[in-house]
Amino acid sequence: MAEKTKAKKKSTVTKKAKKKQEKQTLVIVESPGKVKTIEKYLGTSYNVKASMGHLIDLPKSRTAVDVDNNFEPEYITVRGRAKILKELQSDAKKSGRILLACDNDREGEAIAWHLRKAITAKKDDVPIERISFNEITPQAVQEAVLNPRTIDESKVAAQKARRVLDRLVGYNLSPLLWKKVKNGLSAGRVQSVALRLICEREKEVESFIPDEYWTLEAEFKIGKTSYTAQLVLWNNAKPVLKNEAEVKAIIEKIKDNEFTVSDVRQTDKTIRPKAPFTTSQMQQTAANKLGFTSRKTMQVAQQLYEGVAIGASRVGLITYMRTDSVRISQTALEDVRAWLDKNHPKELPEKPIEYTVGKNAQDAHEAIRPTYTEYTPDSIKEYLSKDQLRLYTIIWERFVSSQMTNAKSRTISMDIKVVAGNEEGLFRVSGTKLIEKGFYKVVKLLSSKEDNTGSCPSLEVNDKVKMDKFKNEQHFTQGPSRYSDASIVRTLEEKGIGRPSTYASIISVLLDRYYVTRSNKQLVPTVLGKLISDVLVEHFPLYVDADFTASMEAKLDDVEDNKVSWPEMIREFWSPFKTTVDDVTKNIESFKGILDEPTSHTCEKCGKPMVKKLGRYGFFLACSGFPECRNTKSIPLAKCPKCGGDIVARKTKGKSKEFYGCANYPECDFISHFKPLNQDCPKCGFFLVEKYDKKNGAHKLCINPDCDYLHSADEEE
């Protein structure tokens, strides 16, 4: 009987040990998009779950930072995320081991830190470790699982410092704007600097007056081919042709004279491949080549990183897409060189090409690259959406070409001289062609001007050429361009403002708050955005200064590098900032209603006068009888040239695209796709609009198709 009892106890112990041994390892990632991919790589002994980003953060309803107690933040479970956290805690209790696989950056480290704390509070005897990987491939994920690490407390401290800093700025400036400008407004530490840059550029655009100038070209027939040459010198000086009359005067002088080749030059140029993408470079190139916004670029890149089904397998196609480094791992270099040796052996350099990492780069991650070079865009295009394929293509081309030999181009320039009495002109024609393709052998979507072959006639000095015809063309000088997604990201990066993870969100916040709008892919500040920027620049010049903001980013880096404690960094900032906020709040005059204007419009509902007001989405007309009468309507932008009615902003049904039409529609069907300006044409009386094209940039012109008026410097004289 005793032996049976002993055997039963032994069996129970064995079962418990076996049960403990069979417990799954819980792997927690941030995004649900990674779950399926990583599950396939790790197998059934691993349970992969997603935290869906931050589960624990500062509350939105209050500042929640104890400024008297080392700026300690008050963290709570994010509203609507309690169920997810509870499920993760429940899964943790059933697991034999927990691996926190959040993104390998400050935000990811902070998410892992909060998850560890929340899980330990419910079950403190389960081992919790941190893993990270730069790419979601079987090798990278499995290596990470075999080599876990501890949570990087310095990264957590840097994220905490940034979060507290942004909260103190936003939750002190925003109430001031509510009180003094308008309810519902908000200001941010980095976004306000970006807004200032956009507003300052807009002032330059608005103050620019275009100058008229002309160019003169001559077409020469050489054999069966025509070549166009431009007049580059007139009487040994660069021609300054202010009007058509000056151009025609030159044509009259030279049209019947002899044209002779006076010089032929050949120039060879070496073209080096560019480094693989950083986040900002990817966003800029995607904007310029693909027309993507920064937000769209990051969304598509996230999909490629998290994994795409390629046949029966699921593969993470690119490395982590938030990076400021151009560094490449040894494994990746060996992979791309093996592919090049097989497919383009003549373009494979003897040694791998190294690129210099920028001085401000954190260098936490590799450059953005394909995880497997053999997955060429053509080989996997059937598995990708159109946008995924286009973005993957430029990433693949940029990376592979970066490890190939230089290209060489040859430019042949030919000068053609014409003499007319004591005066002479020089026309120049050039043609460029690639004589060694080098890295251009893999570049298609990313091809640039250097890749376009051109031809130049094969002539010698003193050869006579026959002039076929002249072509004179009117131009206008272009002022500074408004910022686009690409150029504002480039400027922020150059000035050290923001980090790879924040560029897209900076632009998105300004657009979402309606401080900025997009027009012809350019960022244009609204009246509301200009007002907020003016208030902040006048009363908080230091805190919306680019250099100061960049210095704060550098101090956050110092926290991560353990050079300074985060409370010390915040304390240094907080005292002078709070003093400034208190002084401004006390002394600044109220701007509420400053932009409200009485109008001649009458409310059709109650007969009271209408008032022009500034709302969240721009100006509108509101009844002065508010709140008894709540009638509002769009503000007239101009008078209709067909019937004299009001031109108002309208939107296409089911679409967000704005156009401008007559308020008397359907009786009057006049519409304009260009926004009317508050100016009448001095020639015909129609209204002026702002138009944008590549030739003239942003310029004002008359809406009347029969009127040739274009606002230029002549109008200012």
75 Cβ contact partners less than 8 Å away, ≥ 6 residues apart: 56, 57, 58, 114
518 - beta bridge partners? 523
d(CA 105, CA 324): 12
Name residues whose C-beta falls within 8 Å of residue 682's C-beta, 6 or more positions apart in sequence.
709, 715
Contacts of 253 (CB under 8 A, 6+ apart): 420, 421, 423
Q: Strand (E) positions, 208-327?
A: 212-222, 225-234, 259-271, 308-310, 313-315
Q: Which amino acid is at 402?
A: S
Report strand pairing: 632-634 vs 618-623: antiparallel
The per-residue DSSP string of 579-607 comes to HHHHHHHHHPPP-TTTT-EEEEEE-TTT-
The secondary structure element, H or E, covering residue 16 is helix 2-21
Coil vs helix vs strand at 465: strand
Decide: 607 and 621 in contact? Cβ < 8 Å.
Answer: no
In the chain, what is the greatest distance between 2 CA atoms, to the nearest angstrom? 131
Token reading at 704 = 């009347």
How many helical (H) and strand (E) elements, i.e. helices and strands, does the chain have?
A: 18, 29
Helix (H) or strand (E) holding 19: helix 2-21
Mark 644-661 as b/e (b = at least 16 C-beta within 10 Å): ebbbbbbeeeeeeeeebb
The residue behind tokens 């310095």 is 154
Which residues belong to the active site? 320
Q: What is the 8-class DSSP label of residue 210?
A: P
SS3 for 169?
A: helix
Characterize 365-399 residue by residue with b for buried, 16 or more Cβ atoms within 10 angstroms of its Cβ, and e for exposed.
bbbbbbbbbebbbeebeeebeebbbbbbbbbbbbb
Q: Give the H/E segment covering residue 303.
A: helix 294-306
Question: CA-to-CA distance for 431 and 371, rounded, in angstroms?
Answer: 39
Residue 96, CB-side half-sphere exposure with 13 Å CA sphere: 12
